[in-house]
């Protein structure tokens, strides 16, 4: 064989090998379409056969669905964007009220900065409505794909340092309860129902519409800080929070195995204008590239090192870059969208008091290393205290440690995830903390009660407002009895 032919054959073989390896590494099946009576949530771990899905567009349709479910003996599970991860928005054989089409903005009072929306509206839709008015949402999650009703029902929180969780920004709402009545709820009208529905996981009725405080869509100047985790709590408490012009701050902990949870990079945003800006809303870019790097970090330790380095270099805003409030509340999520029949990416969140932050992180690192946890992201936020919600996690000021973890779907993989979660819940509770409830239900009732001492009172109130247990979901079915 001539040298040329040998070279051509070897090159072809190498190319074929590389193409095969790339296909093996980066091909992901898309999530399978489910029959109309089967649903799942964002974890992919809660495949459930339900009775039927009803997608109301009017209040009359919601009333009719509730009435007929009651008459026919069906349970009702209420679902928003279904991004909770533990079956909180579903129940076997139930009528699932899919609220996504009940999504109109009903009114805006620019003077009072109050907006009234139907509960199925997503933050993204609301941002599109508010942005031309120079207004913005006060408190919401980092990403904007969730519904207002689903966010109120978990009492969501995000980047905002000043206002605590979402409940603090709710002026009032109307709810359709199990007896077929519509009740107005606020801090002065039906205050008990107001408190229990916020963070109430859809167990008290269907939130129809809500009036929320909104704020000026200010511009903010970014500053990036790179420190050691020992300094992080002090940096938040003594540098960021005392500066009244800084409204947002968040920090990422290293996922690089060599510097795991030790190196920290964070961003703080300082108010740069007090006028309502109408800058174009920015959408996620470079999705395929970032998905590629994210996938490497999901599969390999060297991928975690690489992604952390790239993140430090390219992810954070340039010093002095300005962004509006609406654009800060648009954390990219397409890059992490993932489906696999054998594994899943899940979120968890632990709240720890500032003086326990370092010991908790040391304990967390030990758990991750000992249990070989596939950690994809670790973010730290500050949560201001707020007691508007009855089942409250923001009982004092906390640092929230948000973990994004890849877990195997097999029985052994789920059992490992369960053991890890229970260990972390115990650690956070021992440290005077708690954990966030919209995620996978790996814990048992005693752990829930340790983290939420008022849980039995909460379930008693559910039965008081809904004696026939019409509103049902995986969370109540597992812990409510």
Ligand X SMILES: Cc1cc2nc3c(=O)[nH]c(=O)nc-3n(C[C@H](O)[C@H](O)[C@H](O)COP(=O)(O)OP(=O)(O)OC[C@H]3O[C@@H](n4cnc5c(N)ncnc54)[C@H](O)[C@@H]3O)c2cc1C
Q: Which positions lie near ligand X, rule CB under 6 A?
A: 42, 78-84, 88-89, 99, 119, 141-143, 146-147, 149-151, 153-154, 156-158, 201-202, 206-207, 333, 347, 438, 473
What CA–CA distance (Å, rounded) separates 461 from 473?
16
Helix (H) or strand (E) holding 270: strand 263-271
CB 212 within 8 A of CB 112: no
Least distance (Å) from ligand X to the CB of residue 355?
A: 23
Residue 47 makes CB contacts below 8 A (sequence gap 6+) with: 34, 38, 39, 40
Distance in Å, CB of 406 to ligand X, minimum: 13
Q: Which CB atom, from 178 or from 305, has the smaller least distance to ligand X?
A: 178
Give the nearest residue (CB) to ligand X.
150
Cβ of residue 369: shortest distance to ligand X, in angstroms? 25
Q: Please say which residue, 9 or 37, places its beta carbon nearer to ligand X.
A: 37
Tokens of 425: 């819940």
d(C-alpha 374, C-alpha 345), whole Å: 9
CB of 107 to ligand X, least distance (A): 18
In sequence order, which ranges of 315-356 are alpha helices (DSSP H)?
A: 325-328
Question: Cβ 292 to ligand X, closest distance in Å?
Answer: 19
Helical H runs in 101-154?
A: 123-130, 148-154
Nearest to ligand X of 79, 386 (CB atom): 79
Decide the pairing of beta strands 114-118 and 105-109.
Answer: antiparallel
Nearer to ligand X, 44 or 276 (CB): 44
Alpha carbon distance 175, 151 (integer Å): 15
- Which residue number, 142 or 303, has a Cβ lying nearer to ligand X? 142
Q: Which two tokens stand for residue 426?
A: 């115990």
Smaller CB distance to ligand X: residue 177 or 215? 177
Q: Are 202 and 438 in contact (CB under 8 A)?
A: no
Q: How far is CA 144 from the centre of its chain?
A: 10
Distance between CA atoms of residues 96 and 75, nearest Å: 8
- State in angstroms the smallest separation of the CB of 458 from ligand X: 13
In this complex, which beta carbon is closest to ligand X, that of residue 141 or of residue 305? 141
| Nearest-approach distance from CB 147 to ligand X, in angstroms | 4
């Amino acid at each position: 064989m001539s040298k040329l032919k040998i070279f051509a054959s070897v090159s072809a073989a190498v190319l074929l090998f590389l193409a095969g390896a790339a296909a093996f590494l980066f091909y992901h099946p898309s999530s399978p379409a489910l029959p109309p009576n089967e649903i799942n949530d964002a974890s992919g771990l809660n495949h459930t056969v339900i009775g039927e899905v009803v997608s109301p567009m009017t209040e009359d349709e919601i009333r009719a669905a509730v009435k007929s479910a009651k008459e026919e003996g069906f349970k009702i599970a209420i679902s928003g964007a279904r991004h909770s991860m533990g079956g909180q928005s579903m129940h076997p054989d139930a009528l699932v009220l899919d609220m996504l089409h009940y999504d109109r903005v009903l009114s805006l009072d620019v003077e009072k900065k109050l907006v009234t929306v139907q509960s199925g509206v997503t933050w993204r839709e609301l941002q599109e409505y508010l942005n031309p008015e120079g207004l913005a949402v006060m408190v919401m999650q980092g990403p904007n794909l969730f519904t207002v009703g689903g966010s109120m029902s978990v009492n969501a929180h995000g980047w905002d340092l000043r206002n605590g969780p979402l409940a603090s920004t709710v002026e009032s709402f109307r709810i359709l309860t199990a007896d077929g009545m519509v009740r107005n709820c606020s801090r002065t009208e039906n205050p008990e129902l107001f408190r229990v529905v916020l963070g109430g996981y859809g167990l008290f009725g269907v939130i129809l519409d809500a009036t929320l405080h909104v704020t000026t869509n200010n511009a903010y100047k970014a500053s990036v800080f790179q420190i050691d985790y020992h300094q992080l709590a002090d940096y938040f408490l003594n540098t960021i929070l005392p500066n009244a012009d800084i409204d947002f701050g968040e920090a990422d902990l290293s996922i690089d195995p060599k510097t795991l949870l030790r190196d920290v990079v964070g961003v703080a945003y300082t108010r740069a204008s007090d006028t309502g800006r109408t800058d174009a809303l920015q959408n996620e870019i470079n999705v395929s590239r970032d998905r590629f790097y994210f996938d490497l970090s999901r599969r390999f330790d060297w991928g975690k090192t690489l992604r952390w380095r790239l993140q430090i270099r390219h992810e954070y805003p340039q010093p002095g870059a300005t962004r509006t409030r609406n654009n800060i509340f648009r954390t990219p999520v397409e890059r992490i969208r993932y489906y696999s029949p054998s594994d899943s990416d899940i979120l968890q969140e632990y709240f720890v008091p500032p003086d326990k932050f370092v010991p908790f992180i040391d304990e967390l690192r030990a758990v991750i290393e000992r249990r070989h946890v596939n950690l994809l992201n670790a973010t730290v936020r500050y949560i201001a205290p707020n007691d508007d919600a009855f089942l409250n996690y923001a009982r004092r000021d906390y640092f929230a440690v948000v973990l994004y973890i890849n877990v195997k779907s097999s029985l052994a993989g789920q059992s490992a995830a369960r053991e890890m979660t229970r260990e972390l819940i115990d650690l956070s509770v021992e440290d005077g903390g708690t954990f966030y409830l919209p995620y996978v239900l790996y814990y048992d009732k005693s752990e829930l009660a340790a983290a939420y001492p008022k849980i039995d009172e909460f379930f008693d109130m559910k039965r008081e407002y809904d004696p026939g247990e019409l509103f049902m979901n995986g969370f109540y079915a597992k812990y409510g009895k």
